Chain A
């Protein structure tokens, strides 16, 4: 019985090498995905921001840059914090499963951040559009201002 139990324990014990490789793969994939999403948002969000800031390109670029910085901080912060949580890899199969779960969570966080950004952009744009609208009613008359 004893050799069998030892074998079972060996099979479920975390494999340090597999865990380290999982972490490395997790970090590389997650950071690469974060950079890709941030660049996409930065590139395609600019036109929304320029419109929202009534054509003020300097202000739009500044806000766009600040948004990307915030995006990096939140996402890379999450990736770093979430690294040690979850099952530890004992073999190639569990390593892939763990990696898949971790990267999947990062994708969900990126998706939530992406839609949050879109929500903010569209809200800003809507407000800017409202400001450009003419008064909704006709005046009763005119005076000549001096």
Chain B
């Protein structure tokens, strides 16, 4: 992957938190943020609007591949040098629907949460993320 575009809803508090957090992380490829509200969005990414739905963010690779829902969060993690292993772990079928929840936890205190979560096996991690989904108020629809 040569580049990652992150399209985000500039009116969503959660998306703005994601933007701030990702911007502060080291990445292994260039990451460009484009708000959904940008006037040039449709011209630069023709046809992307059909993927948007209620998503707080979408990920588009430099090759034009569009990732929405949990896949978008996974792609964000995949681009971050310190969280790429998490993208691989969370791509497991059971954990994938809850990738957004894991992302939410990283937003709180990334390194500390990643260390704590790394100690959990997949079953316990799943329980933690399900608990997070039940208690979260981020606006993400649960278990997508």
Contacts and interface: CB of A to CB of B under 8 A. Distances in A.
Contacts of A146: 43-46
B44 A137 contact: no
A136 B66 contact: no
B66 A140 contact: yes
Contact of B44 (A130, A136, A139, A145): A145
Contact of B46 (A127, A134, A137, A144): A144
A134 B1 CA distance: 7
A142 interface: yes
A91 B69 CA distance: 79
B6 interface: no
A141 B91 CA distance: 18
Interface stretch (B10-18, B71-79, B117-125, B131-139): B71-79
B126 to A, nearest CB: 17
A108 interface: no
Interface of B is mostly: mixed
Nearest to B67: A139
A93 interface: no
A127 B82 CA distance: 9
Interface string B28-55: 1000000000000001111110110000
A143 B48 contact: yes
Interface in A103-146: 127, 130-131, 133-146
Interface residues of B, number: 30
A136 B78 contact: yes
A127 B50 CA distance: 35
Chain A contact residues: over half helix, strand or loop, or mixed? loop
B65 interface: yes
Contacts of B43: 146
Contacts of B71: 137-140
A120 B64 CA distance: 36
**Lowest 6 CB-CB distances: which A-B pairs, in order?**
A139-B65, A136-B91, A131-B28, A143-B47, A141-B66, A142-B64
Interface of B: 1, 28, 43-48, 50-51, 60-62, 64-69, 71, 74-75, 78, 81, 84-85, 87-88, 91, 96
Interface of A: 127, 130-131, 133-146
30 contacts: A134-B1, A135-B1, A135-B75, A135-B78, A136-B74, A136-B87, A136-B88, A137-B91, A139-B61, A139-B65, A139-B71, A140-B51, A140-B66, A140-B67, A140-B68, A140-B71, A141-B65, A141-B66, A142-B64, A142-B65, A142-B66, A143-B45, A143-B47, A143-B48, A143-B60, A144-B46, A144-B47, A145-B45, A145-B60, A146-B43
